[in-house]
Structure 1
């Protein structure tokens, strides 16, 4: 800075320095300016504190229900849920935008005060939901004796926040009941479908097993029939050979008997005696260690036997086994086991696993639960009308207004002192 030759150096140095006493004296001289700014700021703060829309805060806390409340649902053996899981699901429903929108659509009149200007009520609700709802959960850094979940709502005075929050809690619990009912119905349908597939597979397996058994029985009968017919044919062939062999033997014996003149049955001893000696009332008994030749039967008896054999049309009566074979063949004409298997009216009665599957199917079909009475969570603290708003805090705002007004007044006074000092220095 250039030095003024007409002003002493020490005086110009004092001009550039700030004299604190002079500064405080200047501020004190403008104390009414500072008081006026403080009063004006207080007036503005007071007007805001008393004219601003008050906001209130309510919250609702839910805790785990008793295990007995879930016993009927868990007793189905299809769907399992414990109290902690039920509370978590209700908490997730409370935090769900879908649940809140569902409650909004069902209770639009509660949200009408939110509509401002030309904006839509849906947009107003979206903003309200984004800013005013807070999900309450236990602090993971702290140990909570009893699990809980809650919802906090901040709302302006013209909105019925208590009705909204309590209704939202009821909506969340109701929606979760509906989801559980849908889950239960889906699980039951799924298990019934599995059982039906098992029944279908069991029936198919049974049909295949039955057809296989019938085929085996038929094949066994055919094999047995073929074996018996082969045996019958062989026996009859053997009997024909025996008959032809017998006829041949008889022809030879007849020829020998005729050549010996044996007409009636005789013995070697009788042939050695004369005719007279052979007559009389004498009975002889002869014992031989070997059979007499066939021609001793005499040509008359032999011819009679041969004629009978030649007239024979069947030799079946001479072999008892043939009658047995024919009896067995007749039994094979109708397999009663196959007939009864094919005439079964209710095939399901013969399925081994049918009873268990039908029992399970019947149990699942008869599961009828009234989930409207199901208590998933216990409302430990419902929302109630608050005593005073949480904002604006009037005394704080007024005190802050006084402080800011005073600071503004001091700044204005300080600025005036500095400008006045510079003006005096230049004069």
Structure 2
């Protein structure tokens, strides 16, 4: 029974405390309102006075087969592997996401655009800020070939220009890389054919020298045996020795071989190799009508800023202002209550 009465008194005291708390807050309602209005005004000032930030983006896709066709001109004839769309696009996306291109853009475009106050900031801090503004990614997991370049900037016109310029620089770098790749492959093939031609010419020269040595030996035998002219009946036997041709015929062949300036007409494979070499040297390693990507959507000048979000900031200002006002009122009430108790306390002599 006593326990129930104690619980009832505790519940009643809690009720009284809650009522007193509400009364105390109501008594300080103008303080709460003032703090709320002050915080909301500060939030509103920030929302309306802060410089807006705009975002723009360019979307990119792989090139069409016709866009890379000129990279493959002559490759089949040169016995080189044809470039696929994926091959060319991978070079482009690697450049697009590369640190070197980002650094180049940072040095050549971003830093010169800064005002004098911005140039006094440490370069590593500026680099971090730049990386936060510029984003290059493949955001769609189900479409990994779809890439986006996004930029946040306070100047919407400059934001669009920078994104398109960044994509153009990646495209330019890709064209340079592709030209270098094609040139390197063609150069290697040209060197291979030239080495083959040189080897054939050296072999033909050596064979001619071998033939001269054989004929000189046969001439000595023919002159020593007195065989001046070919022995018809004997020469008809294909296994007959060389000297049986007679000294006259051997001297004539020796004279022709010694006067020969070039063995090229007697090398069977040479002309086809020279044709291949001329073809390789005529391959265009820097075609004009090529593209390493498809511009799905160029960056446009944005009209609506993404920051600051005024409605959200004002709402947060009101909520936080109200919470701060209530907190200040509670602390103020507790302090006043403590001071009141001290003033009512009896003085002990």
TM-score, structure 1 as length reference: 0.66
Matched, 1:355 2:271: yes
Classify 1:128/1:221 alpha carbon distance in 2 versus 1 (closer, same or farther; 3 Å): farther
Q: Which has the larger radius of gyration?
A: 1
Query: What residue number does 2:320 align with?
Result: 404
CA distance in 1, matches of 2:16, 2:117: 55
Classify 1:103/1:423 alpha carbon distance in 2 versus 1 (closer, same or farther; 3 Å): closer
Q: CA deviation at 1:361?
A: 0.9
Query: What residue number does 1:388 align with?
Result: 304
What do residues 130-149 of structure 1 show as CA deviations (whole Å, max 9, x unaligned)? 22111121433xx22x8322
Matched, 1:364 2:296: no
2:171 to 154, 170, 173: 173
CA distance in 2, matches of 1:18, 1:82: 82
Asked whether the equivalents of residues 37 and 405 of structure 1 are also in contact (C-alpha less than 8 Å), the reply is yes
SS in 2 for 1:81: coil
Asked whether the equivalents of residues 135 and 149 of structure 1 are also in contact (C-alpha less than 8 Å), the reply is yes
Instruction: Report how many aligned residue pairs link the two structures.
Output: 318
Query: What residue number does 2:161 align with?
Result: 163
Query: What residue number does 2:240 align with?
Result: none
Classify 1:153/1:195 alpha carbon distance in 2 versus 1 (closer, same or farther; 3 Å): same
What do residues 213-272 of structure 1 show as CA deviations (whole Å, max 9, x unaligned)? 32233334434555x26x9xxxxxxxxxxxxxxxxxxxxxxxxxxxxxxxxxxxxxxxxx
Query: What residue number does 2:206 align with?
Result: 208
- For structure 1, which runs of at least 5 residues remain unmatched after alignment? 1-10, 232-326
Matched, 1:342 2:264: no
Query: What residue number does 1:55 align with?
Result: 53
Superposition pairs for residues 101-116 of structure 1, below 5 Å? Answer: 101-103=103-105, 107=109, 111-113=112-114, 115-116=116-117
CA distance in 1, matches of 2:148, 2:91: 12
SS in 1 for 2:288: helix
SS in 1 for 2:57: strand
Classify 1:74/1:125 alpha carbon distance in 2 versus 1 (closer, same or farther; 3 Å): farther
Asked whether the equivalents of residues 58 and 161 of structure 1 are also in contact (C-alpha less than 8 Å), the reply is yes
What do residues 152-191 of structure 1 show as CA deviations (whole Å, max 9, x unaligned)? 1111237711111111111111121112112222222222
Classify 1:417/1:184 alpha carbon distance in 2 versus 1 (closer, same or farther; 3 Å): same
CA distance in 1, matches of 2:109, 2:332: 60
SS in 2 for 1:371: coil
2:101 to 99, 106, 109: 99
CA distance in 2, matches of 1:368, 1:394: 57
CA distance in 1, matches of 2:156, 2:123: 18
Classify 1:202/1:123 alpha carbon distance in 2 versus 1 (closer, same or farther; 3 Å): same
CA distance in 1, matches of 2:261, 2:16: 119
Query: What residue number does 1:374 align with?
Result: 290
Asked whether the equivalents of residues 39 and 317 of structure 2 are also in contact (C-alpha less than 8 Å), the reply is yes
Q: CA deviation at 1:122?
A: 6.8
Query: What residue number does 1:134 align with?
Result: 135
Superposition pairs for residues 229-308 of structure 1, below 5 Å? Answer: none
Classify 1:92/1:116 alpha carbon distance in 2 versus 1 (closer, same or farther; 3 Å): farther
- For structure 2, which runs of at least 5 residues remain unmatched after alignment? 1-8, 228-242, 345-349
Q: CA deviation at 1:117?
A: 4.5
Asked whether the equivalents of residues 225 and 332 of structure 1 are also in contact (C-alpha less than 8 Å), the reply is no
CA distance in 2, matches of 1:180, 1:113: 34
Classify 1:158/1:64 alpha carbon distance in 2 versus 1 (closer, same or farther; 3 Å): closer
Query: What residue number does 1:83 align with?
Result: 85
